[in-house]
Amino acid sequence: MSSPQISPLAPTTQPSLPEIAGVRLATAQAGIRYKGRTDVLYVALDEGTQVAGVFTRSRCPSAPVDWCRSALEAKAGARALVVNSGNANAFTGLKGREAVTLTAQIAGRAAACAPEAVMIASTGVIGEPLDATKFGGVLADCAARAEPGGAAWTEAAQAIMTTDTFPKLATRTAEIGGSTVTINGIAKGAGMIAPDMATMLSFVFTDAALPQTVLQELLGEGTKKSFNCVTVDGDTSTSDTLLLFATGAAGSDPIEHADDPRLQSFRTALDDLLIELAQLVARDGEGARKLVTVRVEGAESDASAHRIAMSIANSPLVKTAVAGEDANWGRVVMAVGKAGEPADRDRLAIWFGDVRVAVEGARDPAYSEDAASAVMRAPEITVRVDLGLGQGTARVWTCDLTKAYVEINGDYRS
Amino acid sequence: MSSPQISPLAPTTQPSLPEIAGVRLATAQAGIRYKGRTDVLYVALDEGTQVAGVFTRSRCPSAPVDWCRSALEAKAGARALVVNSGNANAFTGLKGREAVTLTAQIAGRAAACAPEAVMIASTGVIGEPLDATKFGGVLADCAARAEPGGAAWTEAAQAIMTTDTFPKLATRTAEIGGSTVTINGIAKGAGMIAPDMATMLSFVFTDAALPQTVLQELLGEGTKKSFNCVTVDGDTSTSDTLLLFATGAAGSDPIEHADDPRLQSFRTALDDLLIELAQLVARDGEGARKLVTVRVEGAESDASAHRIAMSIANSPLVKTAVAGEDANWGRVVMAVGKAGEPADRDRLAIWFGDVRVAVEGARDPAYSEDAASAVMRAPEITVRVDLGLGQGTARVWTCDLTKAYVEINGDYRS
């Protein structure tokens, strides 16, 4: 596969991530599938590290997703994270379960911990057995040379890429009861490896001292406003995994409940970091040339607004219109109408950027095609819909649907 | 817009439709939007004609859809059908309502009937006011020259096309209590006119003598197995309309209930005709190069099977894989998993054509990539999934997602 062009929506600079006490990283070439690039990320976590996770809702999850869910239930904390690219270990049956078990054993020996304290994620080919013996010498070596430094973070974000065109990193700081804590996150987006599917993986690390239950609640809430608001093509991977690790090394005061007011700064910083990572995923959608923010207001509830926003963001006709720089508000009406949510055609108003193109169920009489077209030519576009029914709002991100998407996903064998 | 190439999935011959007593047709050039082609279909229906309808579930339906729903409630029967292409009269507010009212008045004068006995459908541009005064002289002239003959049916199917690449016609005969009745149907599929959206329209005519309530029940049942099983891109039009007219001219015995056993032959013929028309729509999906039949078996219920089948048929990743002639069963697993329906990964089996590629939650050990690839190279492909849970089955049709789809829907302004 030739190296893809970097997305035109990529950030112009990559952040340099600070160290997080209790977190050390190493990458390696295990030869899972790729040649000449790293395909394994190993993260060593100090004793006492707590972990929370959010996973794909697919009824056909990958073996690593099953493993992580069980490991979280064991409440054994986390001492190591192993991520490989090149093979998703999904739909691999009994062999898949054996492969994660062996991976956890190898990593457990490297980290001197129980297998249940090893979190695992895989992305890449589906249906191919993953040869976990390839981790044999690799993980012990990673454990020996894992480092906390900035370059290690960038290398980590690169090792988990599939057809991502740029590494995705973000960092924030927050205060918890007078202590400053740091949050670092990396993510990979919708990448495709023949024969495979899109997978979203993200790993977030903090030195805050927070128990698993609190982390889980913060992560669940944060996901709703970030990763669950991103869609590239509406297809949900078998492998989507988001993990939040807290080493506790910052020594902040013990916090028992997610509604503790001392968490306000941390919650804001975490939400903000998750949104940044989620947007980076949309910016690197396959074939993407435009970043689209869809805002829905005036719905009967936030949940209703979210479903309408996703209906717009997933509509192939809306997404091809954006690709064609066409202010085609008729397709937005169509996507509102098909969402199955309360909507009154004759109260609808629609904007592209600041240009109101439709109002009260018809074209805005003052609508200027030139002004709307100018909005559509920009690389970042906001589509706003006011339903005029209630107070529900939502915001989601997507990208346009281009011939490059079809090429990446359909033409790679030809 | 240049004349599009005829879909490679088009039938090699067009059926010649027989006359239906009580039905006469005429087409005209009203200059709604197109130049040099017909854009109006007028159908004259003899007194006593009953009508039933199924419409888009969109919460933002077009003005003609609203009109037809009201007209059906009035139970005034039908004496005329007016269809125009070029303007959908959707999202046109008060002006749209005035335009359908005026259209019905003009047609009512031409047919010497009450406006409520006029059925109306429009397809084309959205958000543009429709100038119904253009129907002024046109409909009276159509009424004067309407004919029952075979060429009139083909011309009717052509007049309602937008970017359809071929006219869609089908015919069947059936027996009702010893009388032979005929059913003719025409349809238009997912066509696109800048700036516009896909719309499905279909009109079915029979000389059977059936009351509105029976027609409605038969049509509702038939739609579930036909048009509701077709998807091109998952986007639901504001204008989808399917009407069934029965003139009663065949003079068959009166039938009061849809469960009358004498309807068996008619029901089968109607279902069969609707399926043929629905498949023609899938064969003419925008940019389509492959007709895909998705069969789901072993689901917990038929409804569950249908939702899983539609999840597969609407998946951009499945559809691009088909375009790339790639036997990518991993994407089928993904689409099953995201459907939100009961599924057990470890019981799943998947076939492309007759080639079983996956079984019991993993790749079929006997699976031959060559054999599967040969299946994928054919213009018509069946994807079959057995969930292994129950007796629920479903069958839906779709087409592949090609660069031509993106071109048609995104590039027409460039």
Q: How far apart are CA A155 and CA A148, in angstroms?
A: 12
Strand partners, A291: A380, A399
What does the pLDDT average to over A197-215?
A: 88
The response to whether A286 counts as a known ligand-binding position is: yes
pLDDT tens digit sequence for A60-74: 889 999 999 999 999
Least CA distance to A63: which residue of chain B? B345
The confidence score (pLDDT) of residue A197 equals: 40
| Ordered alpha helix ranges (H), A253-328 | 264-283, 302-314, 316-323
pLDDT recorded at residue A193: 31
Residue A76 C-alpha, separation from nearest chain B C-alpha, in angstroms: 27
pLDDT, position A405: 81
Of all residues in chain B, the percent with pLDDT exceeding 70 is 95
pLDDT score at A124: 86
Tell me which of B163, B199, B206, B402 is the catalytic residue. B199
Mean residue pLDDT of chain A comes to 90
Is the reported ipTM for this assembly greater than 0.85? no
At B197 the pLDDT is: 40
Contact A95, B362 (CB under 8 A): yes
> Chain A partners of B237 at a C-beta cutoff of 8 Å?
334
Q: What is the largest CA-CA distance in chain A?
A: 70
Complete domains list, chain A, with CATH: 23-283 (3.60.70.12), 291-410 (3.10.20.340)
> Contact B362/A95, CB-based, under 8 Å?
yes
Among B235, B344, B346, beta carbon nearest to A338: B235
Q: Does A401 contact chain B (CB < 8 Å)?
A: yes
* Nearest-Cα residue of chain A relative to residue B59: A337
Give the whole-angstrom CA distance, residue A81 versus residue B368: 36
Q: How confident is the model at residue B251 (pLDDT cuts 50, 70, 90)?
A: confident
Q: Which of A126, A289, A311, A334 is the best residue to mutate to test the B interface, defined by the most B CB atoms within 10 Å of its own CB?
A: A334
Residue among B22, B62, B27, B293 nearest B157 (CA): B27
The per-residue pLDDT for range A8-56, each reduced to its tens digit, is 888 999 899 999 999 999 999 999 988 899 999 999 999 999 999 999 8
Measure CB to CB from residue B333 to each of A60, A314, A345 and give the nearest one: A60
Measured in angstroms, the CA of B186 and the nearest CA of chain A are apart by 24
Strand A291-299 to A380-386 pairing: parallel
Q: Which residue numbers of A are catalytic?
A: 199
**B413 — pLDDT class (breaks 50, 70, 90):** very low
Instruction: Determine whether the annotation assigns residue B225 to a binding site.
Output: no
pLDDT of residue B253: 77
CB pairs under 8 A between A and B: 245
The upper half-sphere exposure of residue B108, i.e. CA atoms within 13 Å in the direction of its Cβ, equals: 15
Q: What is the mean pLDDT of residues B403-407?
A: 83
Is B199 part of any known ligand binding site? yes
Backbone φ and ψ of B263, nearest 5°: -85, 0
Residues shown for chain A: 414
Q: Is B331 touching A (CB cutoff 8 A)?
A: yes
Q: Write down the pLDDT at residue A378.
A: 95
Question: Using 50, 70 and 90 to split pLDDT, how confident is the model at B34?
Answer: confident
- Six token digits for residue B115: 């406006």
Chain A residues within 8 A of B370 when measuring between CB atoms: none
The per-residue pLDDT for range B166-201, each reduced to its tens digit, is 999 999 999 998 899 999 999 998 654 323 345 689
Residue B196 has a pLDDT of 36
Res. B249 pLDDT band, cuts 50 70 90: very high
pLDDT in tens, B221-244: 999 988 888 877 766 778 889 999
> If contacts are CB pairs under 8 Å, which of residues 91-110 in chain B contact chain A?
91-96
Taking a contact as any Cβ pair under 8 Å apart, which residues of chain A between 221 and 250 contact chain B?
233-238
Tell me what pLDDT residue B4 has: 59
Spatial contact of A395 and A410, defined as CB atoms under 8 Å apart: no
Which residues, at least 6 apart from A206, have a Cβ–Cβ distance to it below 8 Å? A20, A181, A182, A183, A184, A244, A245, A246, A247, A250, A266, A270
For residue A384, name the pLDDT band (cuts at 50, 70, 90).
Answer: very high
CB contact under 8 A, A59 and B194: no
Nearest CB to B403: which of A327, A343, A406?
A406
Residue A299 pLDDT level (bands cut at 50, 70, 90)? very high
Where residue A7 falls among pLDDT bands split at 50, 70, 90?
confident
Does B133 carry a binding-site annotation? Answer: no
Mean pLDDT of A74-91: 94
pLDDT in tens, B326-380: 998 988 998 998 888 999 989 999 999 999 999 998 899 998 989 999 999 999 9
Distance separating alpha carbons of residues B238 and B228, to the nearest angstrom: 15
Q: Which of A1, A56, A60 to mutate to test the interface with B (most CBs of B within 10 A)?
A: A60
How close does chain A come to B257, measured CA to CA in Å? 32
Q: How far is A331 from chain B (nearest CA, A)?
A: 6
Region class of A64: left (phi > 0), else alpha (psi between -120 and 50), else beta = alpha
Interface test with B, best of A98, A199, A235, A344 (most B CBs within 10 A): A235
pLDDT at A411: 57
pLDDT at B58: 83
| Amino acid A4: pLDDT | 59
CB pair distance less than 8 Å for B323 and A410: yes
Instruction: Summarize the confidence of residues A263-292 as an average pLDDT.
Output: 91
Are A61 and B414 an interchain contact pair (Cβ–Cβ within 8 Å)? no
In this predicted structure, what is the pLDDT of residue B410?
77
Of the candidate ranges A160-164, A174-178, A184-188, the one whose mean pLDDT is the lowest:
A160-164
Q: What is the mean pLDDT of residues B146-158?
A: 93
Question: Which chain B residues are Cβ-neighbours of A381 within 8 angstroms?
Answer: none
Strand locations in A46-165 (E): 50-55, 80-87, 118-125
pLDDT of A100 above 50: yes
Q: Provide the pLDDT for residue B394.
A: 95
Instruction: For tokens 């309807």, name the residue.
Output: B263
B135 Ramachandran zone, left/alpha/beta (phi>0; psi -120 to 50): alpha
Q: Is the model's pLDDT at A121 over the cut of 70?
A: yes
Q: How confident is the model at residue A194 (pLDDT cuts 50, 70, 90)?
A: very low
Residue B398 has pLDDT above 60, yes or no: yes
Please list every residue in chain A whose beta carbon sits closer than 8 Å to the beta carbon of residue B321: 195, 409-410
Residue A195 pLDDT > 80, yes or no? no
Chain A positions in Cβ-Cβ contact with residue B126 (cut-off 8 Å): 330, 333-334
> Residue B175 in contact with residue B215, Cβ under 8 Å?
no
pLDDT > 90: what percent of chain B?
69
Cα separation of A297 and A327, whole Å?
A: 19
With CB atoms and an 8 Å threshold, state whether A406 touches B409. no
Inspect the interface and report whether the beta carbons of A413 and B95 lie closer than 8 Å: no
The per-residue pLDDT for A150 is 74
Q: Cα distance from A374 to chain B (closest Cα, Å)?
A: 14
Q: Which amino acid is at B381?
A: I
CA distance B73 to B137: 29
